[in-house]
Amino acid sequence: QKEVEQNSGPLSVPEGAIASLNCTYSDRGSQSFFWYRQYSGKSPELIMFIYSNGDKEDGRFTAQLNKASQYVSLLIRDSQPSDSATYLCAVERKDDKIIFGKGTRLHILP
Amino acid sequence: EAQVTQNPRYLITVTGKKLTVTCSQNMNHEYMSWYRQDPGLGLRQIYYSMNVEVTDKGDVPEGYKVSRKEKRNFPLILESPSPNQTSLYFCASSRSTGVGSNIQYFGAGTRLSVL
């Protein structure tokens, strides 16, 4: 089982709809969870991080964490063409190492 | 402006010719890392450093060296580059480790081609 798994996509979502990105992880002791956005040819930039079970909202973005199911998700409301990018899920293990998933390509259809 | 600076941004070299990619951060961060990103393989950690003079291997350290003599600098050294090291490299830093602290700030990337 891969440490951090994401569907590679592409995930196509109409403009204005909700985009839902999912990530599962294998290390049950993992403590912090991050979502990064990466435009083609650019470096990753942090969207959100979460470390407690439940939801965390920031503008159009909501991160959801369920440690019992080892599952973290990112919801993007009112999707815009500028949201088209690759979204990387990252997990901080108990030994402080950060493990990245391979990313999900998101395409917002105008 | 808070930033992580990598140089060079683009580099074409030949097999066996030693090279160094520099990385510097101005945020007084303790933790620095090097990653490589390859299509289909995602971001993989090469080496990391928890503080000055403290470095450790990541997931793909073979063929690379690092040093951390100063807190702000973390150069990546390829003593004898090979074509399988052709990749996009990112340096990253974070304030610390532990819950809520390990947010990675990335440099702009170095695209390396080894012929």
Which pLDDT tens digit goes with each residue over B24-66?
999 999 999 999 999 988 899 999 999 999 999 999 999 999 9
Task: List residues of chain A with CB under 8 Å from any CB of chain B.
Answer: 31-32, 34, 36, 41-46, 49, 51, 88, 90, 92, 96-103
Other CB atoms within a 10 A radius of the CB of residue A72 amount to 26
The mean pLDDT of A72-80, rounded to a whole number, is 97
Instruction: Identify the pLDDT of residue A2.
Output: 77
Instruction: Identify the pLDDT of residue A93.
Output: 87
Report the chain A residue with the minimal C-alpha distance to residue B96: A96
Paired tokens of A82: 């500028």
Instruction: Identify the pLDDT of residue A42.
Output: 94
Whether residue B73 has pLDDT greater than 70: yes
The answer to whether the CB atoms of B102 and A32 lie below 8 A apart is yes
Paired tokens of B9: 């941004």
CB proximity list for B1: less than 8 A, separation 6 or greater:
none
Report the chain A residue with the minimal C-alpha distance to residue B87: A41
C-alpha distances (whole Å) from B11 to each of B6, B87, B108, B109 are 12, 10, 14, 11
Paired tokens of A58: 């920031």
In angstroms, what separates the C-alpha of B39 from chain A's closest C-alpha?
9
The mean pLDDT of B69-86, rounded to a whole number, is 97
Instruction: Identify the pLDDT of residue A1.
Output: 65
Paired tokens of B110: 């170095």
Kindly list the residues from chain B whose CB atom is less than 8 angstroms away from the CB atom of residue A99: 45
For residue range A15-40, list pLDDT tens digits in order.
999 999 999 999 998 989 999 999 99
Closest partner CB to A46 (pick from B35, B45, B103):
B103
Instruction: Identify the pLDDT of residue A89.
Output: 97
Kindly list the residues from chain B whose CB atom is less than 8 angstroms away from the CB atom of residue A42: 108-109
Q: Which of B20, B85, B2, B110 is nearest to A41 (CA)?
A: B110
Residue spans of alpha helices (H) in chain B: none
Helix (H) or strand (E) holding B48: strand B42-51
SS3 for A53?
A: coil
| Mean of pLDDT over chain A | 94
Instruction: Identify the pLDDT of residue B102.
Output: 85
Decide which of A99 and B101 is more confident.
Answer: A99
In the block, residue with structure tokens 């393989």: B41
Rg (CA), chain A: 13
Report the chain A residue with the minimal C-alpha distance to residue B100: A32
C-alpha distances (whole Å) from A105 to each of A71, A81, B111 are 19, 13, 21
Paired tokens of A38: 């990466």
Percent of chain A with pLDDT over 70: 99
Instruction: Identify the pLDDT of residue B60.
Output: 95
Query: B104 falls in which pLDDT band (50, 70, 90)?
Result: very high
As beta bridge partners, residue A108 has: A13
CA–CA dist B45, A97 (Å, integer): 9
Question: b/e per residue, B15-43, with b = 16+ CB within 10 A?
Answer: eeeebebebbbeeebbbbbbbbbeeeebb
